[in-house]
Amino acid sequence: MLRHGLRTAHDALDASVSRFDLTEIDGMIAFLRVQEAALARLPMSQASGPTAAAIADLTERARADLQQRGVSCLQIESPDLSRLHPLAVDYVIGGSRLGAEVLQRRWASGRAAELGVGGQYMSAPRYIDIWRDFCASAADISGGTPLARRICGDASDLFALFETAADRSFEERQEYV
């Protein structure tokens, strides 16, 4: 139900992030800026314990990689995310970690990996339990219910946050040598 309900938002985010070539230094740094900016704006109080821990870890890893290169974090405006349903946060973070394996392989084949750019972020755990727990919880939610609509709406808001960060990072990209 969520995948179908969020297909448009998910496709838009994928298109925004796909502009960054993770094999190259500048593409990887722009990607790290997206991750740090969006993850840092997620309210930890709205996430399950394992998801909050993953968000904190991923944010710190992205920051450390940026600091290692002397690159500042991306500044973005964020909407009020203080009332997100925890399953929406689990869906976005858990799902992103599923895709991280593909991104990691892409990154590993390029110059950025050879030079260690993004190494901390790209070596993060997969946090697969977040996705498994989400799937177990979501299996009991009927599509079209107010709860299902809320989770879809909140997840869509989170996708929009990451897309905003991706668009800003793309606009501000530069060559980081």
Chain centre distance of CA 55: 9
Q: In terms of pLDDT, which residue wins out, 2 or 6?
A: 6
Domain membership of residue 176 (yes or no) is: no
Domain membership of residue 148 (yes or no) is: yes
Band (4; pLDDT cuts 50, 70, 90): low
Provide the domain limits for residue 128: 2-171
Residue-averaged pLDDT of the chain: 90
Three-state DSSP class for residue 27 = helix
Given a cut of 70, whether residue 3 has pLDDT beyond it is no
Domain membership of residue 115 (yes or no) is: yes
pLDDT in tens, 65-113: 999 999 999 999 888 898 999 999 999 999 899 888 889 999 999 999 9
Average pLDDT over residues 58-64: 98
Number of domains in the chain: 1
Distance CA 104, CA 118 (A): 10
Token digits of residue 62? 């992205």
Domain membership of residue 44 (yes or no) is: yes
pLDDT in tens, 17-37: 888 999 999 999 999 999 999
Domain membership of residue 140 (yes or no) is: yes
Domain membership of residue 81 (yes or no) is: yes
pTM of the model as a whole: 0.92
Give the per-residue pLDDT at 93: 95
Residues 6+ away with beta carbon under 8 Å from 86:
46, 47, 48, 51
Q: Residue ranges of the alpha helices (H) in the chain?
A: 2-5, 7-17, 25-40, 49-68, 86-108, 111-114, 119-122, 128-138, 146-172
Domain membership of residue 136 (yes or no) is: yes
Give the per-residue pLDDT at 71: 95
Domain membership of residue 177 (yes or no) is: no
CATH at residue 117: 1.20.910.10
